[in-house]
Amino acid sequence: MFLLKPLVHYSLHFLAPALIAWGIAHTRWSTLDWRSIWGILLATMLIDLDHLLATPVFDPTRCSVGFHPLHSYTAIVVYSCLLLPRRTRIVAVGLLFHIVTDWLDCWI
């Protein structure tokens, strides 16, 4: 279990977005190639910068969802609204997938 949690967490943060990007690239609403989409999805991990506001910065027992400002429930509502405009949809998918990944991390 000690190694399972970080393995799952970082696989979901780095590898799964490649699969999501490939899937998005094959939809009608995206004109970007999968590598560009993957880059956008990886860039959405910048919301983890809000961890720098916490003391301690890293606490393996803390659930980031609902604790950090960019992982708050209000932020999740905003990210969900970003699904509506086509221009922000890929960013919204990345942000929401990031939140789901962090939420799963709370339960492993």
State pLDDT tens for residues 46-85: 999 999 999 998 888 889 999 999 999 999 999 999 999 9
Of the two residues 58 and 96, the one the predictor is more confident about is 96
Determine the pLDDT at residue 2.
66
Q: How far is CA 50 from the centre of its chain?
A: 13
Four-point Cα dihedral 58, 62, 65, 70, nearest 10? -30
Residues 24 and 44: beta-carbon distance below 8 Å: no
Determine the pLDDT at residue 59.
84
Model confidence over 11-57: pLDDT tens digits?
888 899 999 999 999 998 888 999 999 999 999 999 999 999 999 98
Tokens of 14: 């780095």
> Of 42, 37, 54, 32, whose CA–CA distance to 10 is shortest?
42
- With cut-offs at 50, 70 and 90, classify the pLDDT of residue 1: low
